[in-house]
Amino acid sequence: MIPRYTLPEMGALWSEENKFRKWLEVELAVCDVHAEMGTIPRDAAAEIRARARTDVARIHEIEKTTDHDLIAFTTAIAEQVGDAARFLHYGLTSSDVVDTANALLLRDACDLLLAKTDGLLEVFRHRAFEFKHTPQVGRTHGVHAEPTSFGLTFALWYDEMRRNRARLERARETVAVGKISGAVGAFAHLDPEVEERVCARLGLRPAPVSTQIIQRDRYAEYLTTLAIIAASLEKFALQVRHWQRTEVREAEEQFKRGQKGSSAMPHKRNPILAERICGLARVVRANSLAGLENVALWHERDISHSSAERVILPDSSIALDYMLDRSTKLFAGLVVYPDRMLENLQATRGLIFSGQLLLALTQAGVSRETAYEWVQRNAMKTWDQGGDFRSHVLEDEEIAKHLSREQIERIFSLDAYLRNVDRVFDRVFGRTE
């Protein structure tokens, strides 16, 4: 991922230096287990642990000759260790190291993403209660529908991100799996106990069965989970982009001192964070498709997955980390205009209360079909001829036979639309709030 969208902690996790450190961590764990089991001399394992260090520049230099990064890595380590290096990588194949190290990287990436998810959840919780009883017009098909609570939007998003958190926890469990089973996964040169002990040392579970590689449905689950979370963040950001439109202007991104919105138009305050989040969601979603295509490989393995994974695993992790961080910033600082929401509620001159009027007429004994016809008649008059919907309804003789003026006035009130918000919040956040 380009530096522009890379935050320090996640970027460091996916650095070349850290990748090689994880490879070495796996190699050293294998040496220690071999020494415990008497496969290699204890003093050799101790010497390897004492002297082995990663040197990124040297590994890259050797790889120019080997065209194999794992061999370049073991060769660079052997140069430091000396004679004891003959016991390094004992009984292993490259994927034993790479895939088990990937499990460590993916597990740690999940931990960072879970922490960022928790931060966003807290922001959504706070803003939900802040605007719990703030009325806003609800929209379907982009058209004004009925009143709702602005806080319900954040409650909805909180509930969705809670599901995303559970997905991410499941993905973490799925990818935190190692394999030390040899060239085709048949343990020809290793006792399965080596795998079990190594994985235990590293805080991983051993794959119940593997080929030369960890099966890529595990990585696909991780990548599709990230894509789902990215899609949710895109959904939230897209809403901000609508709210910030000039003719809507119910909420907008915080615009800091010194910020510029346009090189040509000094008045502009654009939803750049929201648009950036929407754009990066496309990248994460596209990467998940490559992850799915990596599931099907030839026989016990081929290497067609490797090149794609070198891009999609770090890029998706880094991109989603950035998206979560910026989403938290965006919604924590979102500037909200309740007065503008009230203005927009009145924009259709009362048409948003048509559903409530329909129900009142049916309760008064009018058939639903007839009531719908009466209400729609007055609604279309308001759309086409102007005027106020309530006034048209009050003038309608057929409606007046079934509803009093006082009943009609009550229908054109926001109270009915906000009366059950507390109960919904109890379901989302619990009754202790």
Active centre residues (catalytic): 141, 262
Q: With helix as H, strand as E and coil as C, how does 344-370 read?
A: HHCCCCCHHHHHHHHHHHHHCCCCHHH
Cα–Cα distance for residue pair 222/216, rounded to 1 Å: 10
Q: What are the tokens at 289? A: 């498709």
**CB contact at 8 A, 139 and 84:** no
Q: Are 294 and 89 in contact (CB under 8 A)?
A: no
Instruction: Report how far residue 102's alpha carbon sits from residue 23's, in angstroms, rounded to the nearest whole number.
Output: 9
Rounded to whole angstroms, the Cα distance separating 109 from 313 reads 10
DSSP string, 23-52: HHHHHHHHHHHHHHHTSS-HHHHHHHHHH-
User: Is 389:348 a contact under the CB 8 Å cutoff?
Assistant: yes
Q: Is 368 exposed, middle or buried (0-12, 13-18, 19+ CB in 10 A)?
A: exposed
